[in-house]
Structure 1
């Protein structure tokens, strides 16, 4: 009963918009002291210390730093402009370039909000100026931005790796093929749309010659791509851990900024401040969630949850479908970080008892959260885009635009759920 009260009270505070970190910590202290006594929290300093000494989590600030450098120094803008011109002469070319750059940003930032905002500022005006169908333009940006949930080095995969006790490198490897499948699905959809509805995504008028475009694209795309390949390649080949690779990525992003003559100490200061803000938010939530999970665990609620799921008919498939549905619904209302720290620790023990592959389970959760980012009426990506879009772009227009991409995400999620042997490699 204590765990149920704790869970419901925390969710209510989150739904009403209270700070996540203080909600977790405050509710945990209140319920914990009243139900279990003050002595319980004598363990809390040791738990906080273990968070601070966790080398896996050290990768988060460095990957965030890497992504923000690419945005603040204009490297992301160069990527998008060159890609748009390279593919712009075909129907849907700008949309395809947005998908490609969305994937590259996902592989450099790992943060959905940053990717959606960056492409909303850079790509949306280009598509609207080129008379793109407004829902299509909005849908492409929102869907491409959410690729940061699944394409390594996704922040959520790092968090899930820590919460579930799974090597982050294994999660990165397992996420590559599902992520690529989403990119292919989006691209095929745009090509088909350009074929049968060319007025929805008309080609751009390109004034440069093909040789000029190739030279510019090589200059703007190859160096960032090499950085991403170096970072991920060092992880996949076992040369470096994710934490070590994140340090390479952070330094490499600064080197790229110098190479493109976009570096300044003022920009470095701004990037550092932004990185501290994002990282502080994540770790504040993590410490609050540590208190929450401690109270939940010591109240004996874990065993109640286990018994509930284990008594259901259908064994692991019922558990998987129910957990995926619960995460999808919660994703409408609360952020992926809260779900990772609030819900996942409750589900993992059951998954282990049912002998579910935790790497597969983590990928399913990540893809599920990616879908919830897009789903109206509360999908976070929709509001990220609305925040930087011109007033003429209505919220209902964005809702219409994301529906085809939601269906594609659900289709890919279903493939990974029912055919894991073809998509999950570690």
Structure 2
């Protein structure tokens, strides 16, 4: 394959970005700055048309008006609010006491809480740090193997990558949606099918639960084969768990998760609207946790929220109609009343959270993460535009087409690239830079059985692959997070060796998904239809 001057610049630009990022420069400015520098070089060499840059304003406007991406700050807000209001701490404490008297019970409780926190927060770093601070000292004090304890916490903390609602899946779904439409247009299909974030949420549910089950099976096997690695807690340490404590710790987060996911999978709300439900629900939970006043305003507001969702799903609440039946009119008045109760409950909960000093931290944390996401997205958009202007799209197409093994070889090559990049780059850079370049090409290919590559299956494979990368020694981000909060008695080698069995579990899950793609594609078909 002959490489032109422009395509050589593309390869060099990609390499320079990786090197500069490894030097520690800010991601967004690195992407945009490197792209603009190579655009200037290409213009001087006569291989880049500067009119490509005229598309930058429209791209930025498209990012700022993308309704799907509004879900990002809402889910971040939900996660930070639940983290700062000690929901995770209460969950870990209660589940640890509930299961700890069983051999391997503490490890099982960490996996269960990791899954619940993943579905509640979707923030990998926060989950690993929280569980590392709260459960690692307890596990070590109870005689758990350092390696097993560290591996369990690191692996459970990365479940936020794959279990919906996940920020990774929101961003990946948005990028795959654009890539899928572009792939179909390139194939001459001018009424393209769509893939949504909701499809990806539905597709990730079974693989995510499968991973949780595999983690738990491994811990049960270790408890049987090496009982000294995961001893049971003394009975007196677990006898204080009452039904009331279990209810208080478990039911509210589970109800919140069901409300968010159920409203999406049930077709009641879009992911963005469901994210708003999650944000309001997290305010209620925080108000109950940190406030010391009467809980009934929050309980009534939560019931009003459920009632509004029910009315929205079953009744036409539009007021701008020529004819409104008496039943619809009563439903509209009922919805207005519920909204007033809901508003009052939100204000009460916010006041309690503010007085506890939590609200300021939550708003600051949400703003920080959201700003980072969107600035990186803007930088990646400029980078990919210039990459295409230098002929990078054709270069990637030729590279993937010429790889031995056809479609399978191309997908494996992309997965390997993303896996290696996951050692050095965060998921944001990988999703924003790599996916728009390779996904439109992969989605034009056919599997050996003649079926087209499913965008949902491809997205779930990418998400599990990145999760595996973030867990793999010696560069996995989850391992660095855990090293930062682990006590001095835990060596770095303990963390690395403890993660290895879970990396192998992740790879086995990827193999299972490869040969059983219906694990990712079945539920979206059931929920949304073909």
Q: Which residue of 2 aligns with 1:271?
A: 362
Note the 1:13-412 alignment, pairs <5 A: 13-35=20-42, 36=48, 38-165=50-177, 166-207=195-236, 212-262=241-291, 263-265=352-354, 266-354=357-445, 355-412=452-509
Look up the SS of the partner of 2:290 in the other structure. Answer: coil
Structure 1, residues 130-149: CA drift from partner, whole Å, max 9, x if none? 11100110000000000011
How far off its partner does 1:210 sit?
Answer: 6.3
Distance 1:96 1:307 in 2: 47
Structure 1, residues 244-269: CA drift from partner, whole Å, max 9, x if none? 00011011011011122354212111
User: Given the two structures, how large is their TM-score scaled by the length of structure 2?
Assistant: 0.78
Distance 2:89 2:169 in 1: 26
Structure 1, residues 98-117: CA drift from partner, whole Å, max 9, x if none? 10110011001111111101
Distance 2:169 2:520 in 1: 16
Change in 2 beyond 3 A, CA 1:59/1:212: same
Instruction: Give the structure with higher Rg (CA).
Output: 2
Change in 2 beyond 3 A, CA 1:422/1:273: closer
Look up the SS of the partner of 1:146 in the other structure. Answer: helix
Structure 1, residues 384-405: CA drift from partner, whole Å, max 9, x if none? 0011111221111100100110
Look up the SS of the partner of 2:201 in the other structure. Answer: helix
Tell me whether 133-142 or 354-363 shows the greater mean CA deviation. 354-363
Q: Which residue of 1 aligns with 2:510?
A: 413
Distance 1:28 1:209 in 2: 58
Distance 2:265 2:415 in 1: 28
Tell me whether 304-313 or 122-131 shows the greater mean CA deviation. 304-313
Q: Does structure 2 retain, via aligned residues, the 8 Å contact 1:96–1:190?
A: yes
Distance 1:149 1:407 in 2: 17
Look up the SS of the partner of 1:353 in the other structure. Answer: coil
Distance 1:255 1:386 in 2: 33
Tell me whether 242-251 or 353-362 shows the greater mean CA deviation. 353-362
How far off its partner does 1:37 sit?
Answer: 5.3
Q: Which runs of 4+ in 1 moved over 4 A?
A: 208-212
Distance 2:361 2:238 in 1: 37
Change in 2 beyond 3 A, CA 1:321/1:346: same
Structure 1, residues 155-201: CA drift from partner, whole Å, max 9, x if none? 11111111111300000000011111100000011111111211111
User: Given the two structures, how large is their TM-score scaled by the length of structure 1?
Assistant: 0.97
Change in 2 beyond 3 A, CA 1:37/1:306: closer
Distance 2:353 2:519 in 1: 46
Unpaired segments ≥5 residues, structure 1 = none
How far off its partner does 1:38 sit?
Answer: 4.4
1:8 aligns with 2:15: yes
Distance 2:97 2:234 in 1: 9
How far off its partner does 1:313 sit?
Answer: 3.3
Structure 1, residues 12-41: CA drift from partner, whole Å, max 9, x if none? 111222111111010011111221254432
Look up the SS of the partner of 1:163 in the other structure. Answer: helix
Look up the SS of the partner of 2:267 in the other structure. Answer: coil
Number of residue pairs aligned between Structure 1 and Structure 2? 426
Q: Does structure 2 retain, via aligned residues, the 8 Å contact 1:152–1:172?
A: yes
Unpaired segments ≥5 residues, structure 2 = 1-6, 43-47, 178-194, 292-351, 446-451, 525-530
How far off its partner does 1:208 sit?
Answer: 7.1
